Structure 1
């Protein structure tokens, strides 16, 4: 119980104690004037009734205020939940887009790597064939030199 509620409860208890202890004085009839009309009634009971009426009015006002705040809080909570769902969906969409982008980049990189490997393979095959041809030419030249007779003159 907070301090404000405790203070209000003490005031209500003090009013109830004063009314109970002084009931005979409160219930004594006296002349009450409403401006145009005057009548005899117990002024203390009348004032006590007005105080209770004022208390009931303020309690009803506080309850309606609390109800309004609860409804507003609930509405805002629903709005926040809807916004959170939208944000989650947008984030999931961004992740899906990122995944698609990364997959396309991976496929492009893989295609470029395969093209480069094919180019290197064909270059290596050409170099191997060139090396084979060069080796064959050297072997042929050596064979030619070995088969040549020692007295023959070298061909120009």
Structure 2
């Protein structure tokens, strides 16, 4: 129980005890004016009934406020649930879009890498072919030079043997 509830119960017990101790005075008849006439009734009992009616009216107003607050709370809870579902769907949609984008980018990058590797291989093949062609040309040129040197050396060797 909350402190407010305990205080209200304590106040009700004090009022009931006060009325119980003074019941004789509460039930003592008196002349009561009702603006359009007079009535003879126990003033204490009339005031006690008015106090009980006001207390019941206050409890009804509080109960109505609590029920209204509870209904508003439920409505807000439902709205929050709907908003949460929308947010989760949007997040899932963003995740799937991101996943699709990443997959497409990976495919594109793979394709680019494959094309680059193919171009590189083509270029390496061309360079290798050119290099082999140049090596062959250099080999032929070297063989021709060696042949020329050999001929020159033989020609010089015959000149040295003749002059002796």
Same fold (TM over 0.5): yes
Matched, 1:76 2:76: yes
* CA-to-aligned-CA distance 1:104-156 (integer Å, 9 cap, x gap): 22222111111111111111101111111122223334445566772799xxx
Distance between the aligned counterparts of 1:115 and 1:73, measured in 2? 62
Secondary structure at the counterpart of residue 46 of structure 1: helix
C-alpha separation in 2, matches of 1:38 and 1:11: 33
2:32 corresponds to: 32
Tell me the distance in 2 between the aligned counterparts of 1:125 and 1:59. Answer: 96
Following superposition, the deviation at residue 2 of structure 1 comes to 3.0
Q: Distance in 2 between matches of 1:65 and 1:81?
A: 24
Give deviations 1:45-85, integer Å, cap 9, x for gaps: 11111111111110111111101101101110111111011
- Match of 2:127, SS? helix
Tell me whether 1:61 sits opposite 2:61 in the alignment. Answer: yes
Gap regions ≥5 residues in structure 2: 156-164
2:10: which partner in 1? Answer: 10
What is the rounded CA distance, in whole Å, between the counterparts of 1:128 and 1:83 in structure 2? 66
SS class of match (1:35): coil
The structure where helix makes up a greater share of residues is 2
How many pairs are equivalent?
153
Aligned to 1:88: 88
Runs of 4 or more, structure 1, over 6 Å off, are none
For residues 2 and 144 of structure 1, the distance between their equivalents in structure 2, rounded to whole angstroms, comes to 115
Cα distance, 1:97 vs. partner? 1.1
Aligned residue runs from structure 1 range 83-122, under 5 A: 83-122=83-122
- Distance of 2:147 and 2:8 partners within structure 1: 130
1:150 aligns with 2:151: yes
CA distance in 2 between partners of 1:133 and 1:17 (Å) = 123
Q: Which has the larger radius of gyration?
A: 2
TM-score of the aligned structures, taking structure 1 as reference length: 0.87
